[in-house]
Amino acid sequence: MTCALCSVPVHTQFATPELVGAIVEGGLDPAEDPGWAGSGAGSPAEYARWAGHLCGMTCLRMALGADAPSLFALRDGALKYGAYTEDADGTIRGLVYAPFAEYVSEVYGREATVYRHLDVTGIPGLLDAGRTVLASVHYGIRHPERPAPGRGGHLVLVTARTADGAGVHFHNPSGTDAGTRAAVLPLAEFERFFAGRGVSLGSAEASETGAGPEA
């Protein structure tokens, strides 16, 4: 599926989009997802263990476009750069922004800039400069009609601003239906879930010409 407002494809971090709601809100074991092999995972167990952690890789896969590698191929590359780590007890940690930015730049030729402090009002300017933004939000953003449970912990890909600049279009890897996978919110609503950090990615065209982000 491709967003009607842009050329960025819409992907979910779980292989079968129709099952995302059952997995993230209904308690379905991801190992029961019949589409698991399409993710590039080596087994249902590996898929079930990792898929919930791969919102960042799903955002990268969307940003890379139609020719992007599989979700787990991207995960493998990120592991080599230290963008994900595993504790001795098996706990998965990441996405770690600095090595992720290095990975994206060196392997895919996309200039990446890490923002430890990013005001929500700065996002439209990055979009206008031809960049996409991996923004740290609370996963509760798929229910904007509810109070925000917190900020951060999940990544969405911000793809465009609204015509008046007062809102943003974004793709949510854990969206449970079409309207939450390719969503739009006013900046004030988006900010309720936004942690004020993220990573912006340059376009393929900008990388080829050597253009960086605007100051």
Q: What is the pLDDT of residues 157-171, one digit of tens each?
A: 999 999 999 999 999
Find out whether 60 and 94 touch, Cβ atoms under 8 Å. no
Cβ contacts of residue 195 below 8 Å, gap of 6+?
136, 137, 138, 151, 152, 153
Residue 27 or residue 206, greater confidence: 27
pLDDT at 211 over 80: no
Residue 2 or residue 41, greater confidence: 41
**In percent, how much of the chain has pLDDT > 70?**
92
The DSSP secondary-structure symbol of 201 reads E
Band of residue 214 on the pLDDT scale cut at 50, 70, 90:
very low
Q: Which of 5, 38, 12 is nearest to 156 (CA)?
A: 12
84-128 confidence digits (pLDDT tens):
999 999 999 999 999 999 999 999 999 999 999 999 999 999 999
pLDDT the model gives residue 4: 41
Question: To which CATH superfamily is domain 17-207 assigned?
Answer: Cysteine proteinases (3.90.70.10)
CA distances from 211 to 7, 111, 152, 207 (A): 20, 9, 30, 6
129-158 confidence digits (pLDDT tens):
999 999 999 999 999 999 999 999 999 999
Band of residue 1 on the pLDDT scale cut at 50, 70, 90:
low
24-66 confidence digits (pLDDT tens):
999 999 999 999 999 999 999 999 999 999 999 999 999 999 9
